Amino acid sequence: MRTQAKLGLFLLLSPLLLWLTLLILIPHVDMLLVSLRERIGVGQYQTSLANYFTFFSEPLYLRTFVRTAVMSIMATAITLLIAFPVSYYIAKMARGRVRSALFLLCLVPFWVSELVRTFGWMILLRETGVISKLLQYLNLTDGPVELLYNDAAIMVGLVYTSMLFMVVPLVTTLESLPDEVIEAGYDLGGNGLSVLREIVIPHAMPGIVSGCIVVFMLSLGNYLTPTMLGGKDSLWFTELIYSQFIVRFNWELGAAFGFMLLILSSTIVWGMLKLTGQSLEKTMG
């Protein structure tokens, strides 16, 4: 009986274990090994930490690394600021049909691929694009305005592409907050601000944290949006990884970069959880 239960458990677990080992563990181990290789001649390699040394000794790589992290954190913060009122309205104020319609509106842009969404922004922002034409038509500017190819355009793109991933967890947690609790808060003499601070935000904390983690990860690992909207000054860490692997044939350095990115994102997420006093079990469970 007992062995049978064990077998059953093993069989049930095996797809998950296969997934984890074959698709996550083995590639990462392989990448770690590649990143520890140094090319010393045609087709000759030796084990060394040279690639990590290159990463730390070249200011450009470190700067791009920090820049990517800072911009991703900013994108996460802006997404949260925009998504919170939207989610609150959807979860608490809208009713019935309006509510489904609003939720659907958040979802609609995600029916097309990320590439198309980014192209949409390019059409709007470019020098001969919609916004530039409109401003000229309204006589607000003399000549065409270039809104594309700068950091603000990257930020707009990042916030737009990750909005949904913040709205969904927020709506779910806010929905579970009973209206009576908010009313009780007002009955006890609270005003809008104190109710928000003492009741709504603490209740929504798991949603905020899990939304932030997802949005941060998506921004950090985004390749398309920074490359297309950023133009000549777009400098994103994933772009460096891509060019090391594909353009320069330097898999060793690319793998080292990949590992640094993994360490960076894990550290920041861990720091964020510590800072907010949340644990991964509480937010994900």
Binding residues vs another protein (CB under 8 A): 39, 42-43, 58, 60-61, 63-64, 126-128, 146, 148-149, 227, 231-233, 235, 240, 243-251
Nearer to another protein, 58 or 198 (CB): 58
Nearer to another protein, 38 or 175 (CB): 38
User: What is the number of alpha carbons within 13 Å of residue 112 lying toward its C-beta?
Assistant: 7
Nearer to another protein, 198 or 233 (CB): 233
Which two structure tokens, joined as six digits, stand for 135? 């401003």
> Buried b / exposed e across 250-266, counting CB within 10 Å, b at 16+?
bbbbbbbbbbbbeebbe
- Which contacts of 249-256 are long-range, i.e. CB under 8 A and separated by 24 or more positions? 251/34, 252/34, 252/35, 252/37, 252/38, 252/39, 252/45, 252/51, 253/51, 253/54, 253/55, 255/31, 255/32, 255/34, 255/35, 255/51, 256/35, 256/51, 256/52, 256/54, 256/55
Nearer to another protein, 84 or 121 (CB): 121
Q: How far is the CB of 68 from another protein (least distance, A)?
A: 12
In angstroms, what CA-CA distances link 120 with 63, 85, 229, 233, 266?
30, 25, 11, 20, 32
Nearer to another protein, 103 or 242 (CB): 242
Nearer to another protein, 41 or 96 (CB): 41
Q: How far is the CB of 231 from another protein (least distance, A)?
A: 4
Q: How far is the CB of 115 from another protein (least distance, A)?
A: 12
In angstroms, what CA-CA distances link 22 with 15, 19, 37, 185, 258?
10, 5, 22, 52, 18
Q: How far is the CB of 144 from another protein (least distance, A)?
A: 8
Q: How far is the CB of 123 from another protein (least distance, A)?
A: 10
Q: How far is the CB of 181 from another protein (least distance, A)?
A: 51
Q: How far is the CB of 134 from another protein (least distance, A)?
A: 16
In angstroms, what CA-CA distances link 111 with 116, 235, 255?
10, 28, 33
Nearer to another protein, 160 or 236 (CB): 236
